[in-house]
Amino acid sequence: MDINISNAVNKFYPNPSLEMVYFEAIANAIDANATKIDIGISLDAFNAPETLEIKVTDNGTGFTDENFKKFGTLLEHQDKYHKGLGRLVYLQYFKTVDIKSHFDKKTRTFKFDKKFKKKSTVVKQESNLSGATLHFKQYYKKNIKTYSYVTPKDLVESVRLRFYPILYNRKSSNKQLEINFNLTVKQQSSKLKNTRKSLIASNLPELKEMKFDDKLDLFSDVILSYQINKNYKGTSIITAISVDGRTINLDLLSEDEIPQGYEVFVLFTSKYFDGKASNNREAIDIDKPTLDKIKRIFRKNIKKLFEHEIPEISKRNDKIVAKLQRQYPYLNGYVTKDLVGLAKRDSLLDEAHRRFFEDQKKILESENLTDEQYEKALKLSSRILTEYIIYRQKIIDKLKVVDMTSTEAEIHNLIVPTKEVLDGEKFIEDIYRNNIWLLDDKFMTYSTILSEKEMKRLLEYIKLDDEFDDDTRPDIAIVFSKDPSETKRLVDVVIVELKKMGLKLAKKEEVVSQLRQRARKLLQFYPNQIGRIWFYGIVDIDKEFRISLKENGFTPVYSEDQVFYNEQKIIVDEDKNIVVPIGLNIMSYKALMMDADARNSTFLKILIDSIESFNKDMPNNNSEEIADNDSKDIQGNVREDLPSNAYGASTN
């Protein structure tokens, strides 16, 4: 079957890397049973890519008649390990490849380019030489993307990783394989010098093996081979699979998941992957759901490996998880402990919130709850409430560090936001901005804060004589149980007035009188719309003011500091005898903070205790999913004879 080479090059290798040229040439030489491969790289300068030439020489069997026939026919391959396409990558970088081969006392020469017609010249020779030389000429890309594509040191590392299974197999079976890179540069620089570097199979470090309990199907065992260098400068992690004798990277971990000073190489080998390389051998040809399941299985086994070889990872992760569960107790059980590498705090938190949200979503979307779902709904409710209580604690903690001698605006904003409109329609959103609960939890449902325009009108109306001009306004927070302009029912209202620290007694005593006057004006502003008013005057309370409050009928109430209460009647209309009761609360700044803290801490303790009590019923991480995965192979076949989870390491 003849195929248009020019079209095939772009179809099968649309965007390869220059490394692929080396990889393919080396693979062909290894297939030809070569034991020595010499690769010469020459160029004038890095910024003169058109001068790049590569010469690959091996001592293999060469281009015999049979091998040449296969080379000339695309997509024709001898077994499932070979795709019959690799040589196309040559023509993505070089216009021509001059090939000379010795075999059976013959010499074959031919030129491989996009017009290749499967013809060659064969002459007899006296010697018994064997092997082939591929001379890559006329590099036609505009640049060389990176120095690593022409630097022997980097190329040796790339080839070592790419052909690790074959190289290690040669080492294990005491068979020779040597790959030499030699760079010649006319205009040398600090980054590009004449250098030579060799890769010798027998020099590879020994790999250890870890017992792998999982099968990928009913028949295919998996071998996990690894090397961990604990004295590495920097961090390196490579996780890969052996496919058709080559190594294909499988991204399971990133470098930031490994501690500094570690170099980790993990290779998975299984007959299951035979013949499953993509056409360009850059990826594994497996559908995504199956590949995702394989990755989960591999990550689980890498976790076992790390627990044995790098125990500090588990210790560090346990500390992070424990800290997150203390900070976010409502996520207890959702913060995963099934960690492979070093945990990232933000990633763990995001994943825990995602799983928490998914559970909430399932419950909310259920039309009829089963008993099991109902029980889970109760548990989720307590977690959601815990999340809110923790938010409240953050507000309280922030209030504790406010400088009480400074402006009252910061305290005002902590209680209710200024210049914002809350109407109670978006309850969940608004409840995180309206903190009137700092005064008393019974006000949690009071959700209406007037618009800036309405508030300005109201403040102008209820201001006291000569109290403030148009450019200033008192630090007053006003929150209604409902919008008084949109309901026919009587509404309740909470008014908080903040007073500066250090006022003299006479000014402090004015607070009570001012609260009554404001109440009367407010009732007149909203005639027949207000049922009750709760007034809070927050001011520093010293001995003199405390005595004054008691003389005026104020009663001290239980508090972590000082709070005094007095209920008074406000006469709105004397002729009609319209009287509205108001509750006057005079409290210290310290009482505001400490009482809110005491109430919230009690709620939080009850909720955390309840979460911990039923957390044992909460599946940790995705343990149910993992258990299910472990009981079946990736084809869904049930595995009845599961071996133990004992860890075993040996040296080949």
Residues 124-183 pLDDT 10s:
988 888 999 999 999 989 999 999 999 999 999 999 888 888 888 888 889 999 999 999
For residue 425, pLDDT over 70 is answered with: no
CATH number assigned to the domain covering 5-200: 3.30.565.10
The residue among 487 and 170 whose pLDDT is bigger is: 170
Residue 344 has what pLDDT? Answer: 76
- What integer pLDDT is reported at residue 547 of this predicted model? 93
Domain ranges within the chain, ordered by starting residue: 5-200, 404-591
Of residues 23 and 518, more confidence is placed in 23
The predicted pLDDT at position 463 comes to 64
pLDDT per position as a tens digit, 50-91 = 999 999 999 999 999 888 888 766 534 454 444 445 677 888
- Buried-state track 28-59, b at ≥16 Cβ within 10 A, e below 16: bbbbbebebbbbbbbbeebeebeebebbbbbb
**DSSP code for 126:** S
187 pLDDT exceeds 80?
Answer: yes
Residue type, 165: P
Higher pLDDT, 538 or 178: 178
* pLDDT of 472 strictly over 60: no
Most confident stretch, 31-45, 161-175, 448-462: 31-45
pLDDT band with cut points at 50, 70 and 90 for residue 11:
very low
Closest CA relative to residue 89, chosen from 154, 12, 185: 12
Q: What pLDDT score was predicted for residue 466? A: 54
Confidence (pLDDT) at 645: 33
d(CA 433, CA 586) in angstroms, rounded, equals 24
- pLDDT band at residue 5 using 50, 70 and 90 as cut-offs: very low
* Mean pLDDT for the stretch of residues 574-582: 81
Residue 453 pLDDT grade (very low, low, confident, very high; cuts 50, 70, 90): low
When comparing pLDDT for 258 and 451, which is higher?
A: 258
Output the pLDDT for position 12. 46
pLDDT at residue 427 above 50?
A: no
Question: Comparing 347 with 456, which gets the higher pLDDT?
Answer: 347
Residue 238 half-sphere exposure, CB side, CA atoms within 13 Å?
20
Dihedral of CA atoms 380, 385, 388, 393 in degrees, nearest 10, equals -120
Q: pLDDT band at 438, cuts 50/70/90? A: confident
Structure confidence by residue, pLDDT tens digits, 352-370: 777 777 776 676 666 777 7
Instruction: For the chain, give the mean pLDDT.
Output: 78
Q: CA-based angle 558:564:568, to the nearest 5?
A: 125
In the numeric block, the tokens 């993990």 are attached to 266
